[in-house]
Amino acid sequence: MLIELKDVRKIYKVGVERIQALDGVSLEVRENEYLAVMGSSGSGKSTLMNILGCLDRCTSGQYLLGGHDTTRLGSSRLAQIRNEQIGFVFQSFELLPRTSALKNVELPLLYSRKQGWWNRRKLANASLERVGLAGRIRHRPNQLSGGEKQRVAIARALVGGPSLLLADEPTGNLDTKTSEDILALFDRLHEEGQTIIMVTHEEDIARHAHRVIRMRDGKIISDEKQTGRKPA
């Protein structure tokens, strides 16, 4: 089992108000699953993704990643896990401005314990090639289209060979045509063995996944396998 969430809760305190963003979420995800998380705005999807991505800690409950409990780990250890095991794709790309696509993709390797600088360029190039951007390595973010930017971001997420690819509304800022390209890329990555968890609130997009969970008010209200998948 790649992911095990056990009764995870997340409470935000804003002033005196307590917001229960996750209210007892339990979830198991196996290797090479392709999972879509759906739900209306404010239902806790991003909170869940941040916890899965070790960007945030839950208030109570337990999160096992690859069988290891992450709940008690310090921020350095979590950083290392993010670096080695997780690739995160954001809705707004989050590329460094004035920095080439190649340098952006190299970024996670800068903080890797395992990769020396001698491997960086090679790995980044391979990753860009994998997302179909071999011809754009010298471009800066402001010279790329929205779809290309998101591909660079995906290449960056993949460059360290993560066991888990997380994408929080990866097509939220893209038009339909470009979104389809990105989803086709995800389908292909999944076929290559990548575990993917993707947040979306469009049924059309969720149809690419093998399994869909729906959330409301911080709870999982349904969890079903999809059979009639849209062909890539």
Partner 1 sequence: MSGTIWLPIRILLLILQSVWLALGQIWSNKIRSALTTIGIIIGVASVTAVIAALSGLKASVLTEFESIGTTTIFAGPDLPREGKFRNLPWHKIQFEKKDLENLLENCPSLEVYTPATWRSTSVRYGEQTVENMLIRGINNSWHKIENRSVIDGRPFSIIDEEQGWQVCLITEEVKKELKLDKDCVGQEIQIDGRSFRIVGVVEERISAFDMGRSKAEVYIPYETEWKLWRNHPVILAKAKKPEVAEEAREELRFYLRKCKGLKPGDPDLFRIETVEQVLRQFEKVSIIITTIATGVVGISLLVGGVGIMNIMLVSVSERTREIGLRKAVGAKPSAILLQFLVEAVILCFFGGLLGVLGGQGMTSALARIPNAHLDKAYIPMWAIGLAFGFSALVGIIFGMFPAAKAASLDPIEALRHE
Ligand X SMILES: Nc1ncnc2c1ncn2[C@@H]1O[C@H](COP(=O)(O)OP(=O)(O)O)[C@@H](O)[C@H]1O
Smallest gap, in angstroms, from Cβ of residue 133 to ligand X? 28
Number of residues that bind ligand X (CB under 6 A): 12
> Considering CB distances under 5 to 8 angstroms, the limit depending on partner class, which of ligand X, partner 1, Mg ion, none binds residue 14?
ligand X
CB-nearer residue toward partner 1: 94 or 203: 94
Place of tokens 């049924």: 203
CB-nearer residue toward partner 1: 160 or 212: 160
Task: Return the residues of window 33-52 that contact ligand X according to CB under 6 A.
Answer: 39, 41-47
- Give how far Cα 212 sits from Cα of 20, 25, 33, Å: 22, 15, 11
What DSSP assignment string belongs to 43-92? SSHHHHHHHHTTSS--SEEEEEETTEE-TT--HHHHHHHHHHHEEEE-TT
Binding characters for partner 1, 118-157, by CB under 8 A (x = yes)? -x------------------------------------x-
Which residue from 12, 92, 94, 96 is in contact with ligand X, where contact means CB under 6 A? 12
Smallest gap, in angstroms, from Cβ of residue 61 to ligand X? 16
Q: What is the DSSP letter of 115?
A: -
Most distant CA pair in the chain: distance in Å? 53
Query: Does residue 127 interact with ligand X by CB under 6 A?
Result: no
State both tokens at 175. 């038009």
Query: Does residue 43 interact with Mg ion by CB under 5 A?
Result: no
Angstrom distance (rounded) from CA 126 to CA 219: 39
